[in-house]
């Protein structure tokens, strides 16, 4: 998206002439369509308001407030004001009247990577650029719209939209000096629990730690078996091993990429009877089956209703790895609430991402919630230096909570935009016979962490990725090596061919750029490139 910075004289003119000249009105229209982002500096607004006082018939504060519904405010750190004042003192040709201009230019240069500065004094220079007239700006934009690099995940546009809330929330934390598990963390936990509709949300330092907290609170450890999918991020099985338990892999349903309930029952029975109907890890004979760790891959919940029935039949507890699925749904229940404990991640690129590490566990069970809260802070007992059990340090810090709180406001709207983007991809790609677009079964909703599709075979996937790469469009492969074939899990003794569905999917799958701010123009470009890839 193109960034345009407006000077105070443009703002003033826009107020006086009901959004200004034709060119300025066009700029506002482009901003409403989210084709460009308009910015200005708080000091430019102040200056504009002061000028408008000379026009008594209008209410300057009200008119400016209306404009600021569309125009974003640049961050205004105090240090820039000091630098600008120093600059004026050093340069006799500048005066205090130049302050709003200097500050706008400095803030734009520091915060926005590339931008066009629009003002009535076209041609006026500032370090790193010069002022364009609104008409010139439109000409320049015409040639540039949607030509910039296409990010795989766009965190910047979201940041631009929620900047005031981010600034205010982060400042509250700085001011409070309560940096770890502060009031923001409590507030966030409440909001998260409300959102997914569950009794307890326990925030923690990452999605990986969330899985560890869940396993530890259920007292799962050495000699315990945890059934899980080999088609997931390493952290799922890594957490099982970290607590000393053994992952028992179960193949996926290739339509949803999630754990196959039919295979799950076969695996449980094979482990119980010691038969060869299902590949088992080495030393399976000594293992006690304890849990099923489901994964809601790419944002789509696993089939928890069927998995829960099977787990209950054999006395196993279900833990849900919803690291990619915050916001997803199964039969009217939100992801994170679909097992005894649900775990999610706030890694920046996940659907709800922090600006650092973070995660959370969810449960209806008060005793488990209390145990997880204790393990999160070194197994704390009833007071700080009394310890009930072995724990770890897995706390969330207040700054991450403050950022997540700001993002929670836009999260439902973003989720809807992701769903729209997914629908658009599927519509655009449905005629491409060699590609298999992802499905969402009836009664389910995906959080669309990724839009992953299947090529005809490995060669076709290479061709698709190559064609997109040539046009500057990034793609990813989640996941190229199934977990049972990873070097780290060689001691488990699995071999190629053990989980054929997973192995086949891993050869054919790839993911397209996916985020709430994907433009339809970009999606059309991507689809057009894929349509032209030869699948023979
Ligand atoms: C990202 C992810 C995790 C780990 O979350 P972190 O916050 O990065 O520790 C676990 N499981 C799955 C399926 C993930 O995608």
Burial 127-154 (b: 16+ CB within 10 A, else e): eebebbbbeebbeebeeeeeeeebeebb
Per-residue pLDDT for 536 more than 70? Answer: no
Which DSSP helix (H) or strand (E) runs through 130? Answer: strand 129-132
Q: How far is the CA of 453 from the centre of ligand 1 (A)?
A: 20
Per-residue pLDDT for 101 more than 60? Answer: yes
Cis amide bond preceding 479, omega within 30: yes
Domains of the chain: 2-145 (3.40.50.1010), 195-394 (3.40.640.10), 415-535 (3.90.1150.10)
Question: Whose C-alpha lies nearest to ligand 1, atom 6?
Answer: 207
**Quick one: pLDDT at residue 138?**
93
Written as six digits, the tokens of 478 are 């989640």
Average pLDDT over residues 483-507: 97
Average pLDDT over residues 359-370: 98
Q: Which of 80-94, 329-343, 508-522 has the lowest mean pLDDT?
A: 80-94
Average pLDDT score over the chain: 94
**Quick one: pLDDT at residue 20?**
67
235, 326, 396, 404: residue to mutate for ligand 1 pocket, most atoms within 8 A of CB? 235
Question: Whose C-alpha lies nearest to ligand 1, atom 5?
Answer: 207
Q: How many alpha carbons lie under 13 Å from residue 233 in its C-beta half-sphere?
A: 19
Task: Find out whether 453 and 197 touch, Cβ atoms under 8 Å.
Answer: no
Per-residue pLDDT for 17 more than 90? Answer: no
Residue bearing the bigger pLDDT, 103 or 420: 420
**Quick one: pLDDT at residue 186?**
97
**Quick one: pLDDT at residue 146?**
63
Residue bearing the bigger pLDDT, 50 or 226: 226
Q: How far is the CA of 211 from the centre of ligand 1 (A)?
A: 9
Q: How far is the CA of 208 from the centre of ligand 1 (A)?
A: 6
**Of all residues in the chain, what percent carry a pLDDT higher than 90?**
80
Average pLDDT over residues 160-167: 94
- Mean pLDDT highest for which of 62-71, 75-84, 261-270? 261-270
Q: Which residue do the tokens 């990873």 mark?
A: 486
**Quick one: pLDDT at residue 18?**
65
**Quick one: pLDDT at residue 145?**
64
Ligand 1: atom nearest CA of 295 is: 13
Q: How far is the CA of 392 from the centre of ligand 1 (A)?
A: 18
- The DSSP result for 387-451, as a single string, is BSS---B-PPBHHHHHHHHHHHHHHHHHHHHHHHHHHHHHHHHTT-TT-B-----TTEE---S-E
Q: How far is the CA of 233 from the centre of ligand 1 (A)?
A: 7
Ligand 1: atom nearest CA of 357 is: 7
Per-residue pLDDT for 521 more than 60? Answer: yes
3-state helix vs strand vs coil in the chain, percent to 5 = 45, 15, 40
Q: Which of 113-117, 419-423, 505-509 has the lowest mean pLDDT?
A: 113-117
CA distance 270 to 275: 5
Which DSSP helix (H) or strand (E) runs through 166? Answer: helix 156-176
pLDDT, one tens digit per residue, over 387-414 is: 888 999 999 999 999 999 999 999 999 9
Average pLDDT over residues 524-528: 96
Ligand 1: atom nearest CA of 296 is: 13
Ligand 1: atom nearest CA of 449 is: 15
Question: Whose C-alpha lies nearest to ligand 1, atom 2?
Answer: 323
Task: Show the ligand 1 pocket: residues with CB < 6 angstroms.
Answer: 206-208, 232-233, 235-236, 295, 321, 323-324, 345, 347, 359
Per-residue pLDDT for 203 more than 70? Answer: yes
320, 347, 514: residue to mutate for ligand 1 pocket, most atoms within 8 A of CB? 347
Per-residue pLDDT for 14 more than 80? Answer: yes
CA distance 73 to 67: 11
Q: In this structure, what are the phi and psi dihedrals at residue 271, rounded to the nearest 5 degrees?
A: -70, -40
């Amino acid at each position: 998206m193109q960034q345009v910075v407006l000077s105070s004289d443009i703002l003033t003119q826009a107020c006086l002439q009901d959004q200004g000249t034709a060119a300025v009105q066009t700029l506002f229209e482009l901003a409403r369509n989210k084709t460009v982002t308009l910015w200005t500096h708080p000091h430019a607004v102040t200056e504009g308001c002061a000028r408008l006082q000379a026009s008594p018939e209008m209410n300057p504060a009200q008119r400016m407030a209306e404009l600021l519904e569309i125009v974003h405010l640049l961050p205004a750190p105090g240090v820039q004001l000091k630098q600008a004042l120093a600059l004026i003192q050093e340069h006799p040709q500048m005066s205090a009247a130049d302050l709003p201009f200097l500050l706008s230019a400095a803030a734009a240069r520091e915060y926005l990577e590339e931008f066009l500065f629009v003002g009535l004094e076209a041609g006026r220079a500032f370090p790193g650029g010069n002022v364009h007239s609104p008409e010139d700006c439109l000409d320049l934009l015409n040639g540039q719209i949607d030509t910039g690099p296409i990010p795989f995940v766009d965190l910047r546009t979201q940041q631009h939209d929620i900047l005031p809330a981010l600034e205010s929330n982060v400042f509250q934390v700085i001011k409070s000096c309560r940096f770890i598990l502060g009031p923001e963390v409590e507030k966030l936990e409440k909001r998260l629990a409300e959102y997914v509709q569950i009794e307890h949300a326990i925030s923690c330092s990452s999605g990986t730690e969330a899985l560890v907290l869940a396993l530890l609170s259920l007292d799962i450890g050495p000699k315990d078996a945890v059934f899980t999918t080999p088609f997931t991020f390493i952290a799922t099985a890594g957490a099982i091993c970290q607590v000393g338990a053994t992952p028992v892999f179960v193949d996926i349903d290739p339509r949803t990429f999630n754990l196959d309930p039919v295979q799950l029952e076969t695996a449980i029975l094979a482990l119980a009877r010691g038969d060869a109907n299902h590949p088992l890890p080495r030393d399976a004979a000594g293992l006690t089956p304890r849990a099923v760790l489901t994964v809601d891959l790419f944002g789509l919940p696993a089939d928890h209703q069927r998995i829960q029935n099977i787990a209950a039949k054999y006395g196993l507890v279900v833990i849900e790895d919803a690291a990619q699925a915050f916001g997803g749904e199964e039969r009217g229940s939100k992801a994170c609430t679909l097992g005894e404990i649900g775990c999610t991640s706030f890694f920046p690129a996940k659907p709800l991402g922090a600006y650092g590490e973070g995660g959370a566990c969810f449960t209806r069970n008060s005793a488990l919630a209390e145990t997880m809260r204790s393990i999160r802070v070194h197994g704390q007992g009833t007071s700080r230096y009394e310890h009930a059990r072995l724990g770890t340090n897995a706390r969330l810090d207040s700054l991450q909570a403050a950022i997540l709180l700001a993002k929670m406001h836009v999260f439902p709207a973003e989720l809807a935009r992701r769903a729209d983007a997914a629908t658009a991809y599927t519509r655009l790609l449905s005629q491409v016979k060699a590609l298999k677009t992802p499905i969402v079964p009836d009664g389910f909703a995906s959080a669309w962490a990724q839009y992953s599709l299947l090529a005809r075979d490995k060669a076709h996937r290479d061709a698709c990725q190559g064609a997109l790469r040539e046009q500057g469009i990034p793609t990813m492969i989640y996941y190229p090596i199934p977990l049972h074939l990873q070097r780290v899990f060689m001691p488990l003794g699995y071999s190629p061919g053990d989980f054929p569905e997973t192995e086949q999917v891993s050869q054919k799958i790839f993911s397209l750029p996916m985020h709430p701010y994907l433009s339809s123009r970009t999606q059309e470009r991507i689809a057009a490139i894929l349509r032209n890839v030869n699948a023979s």
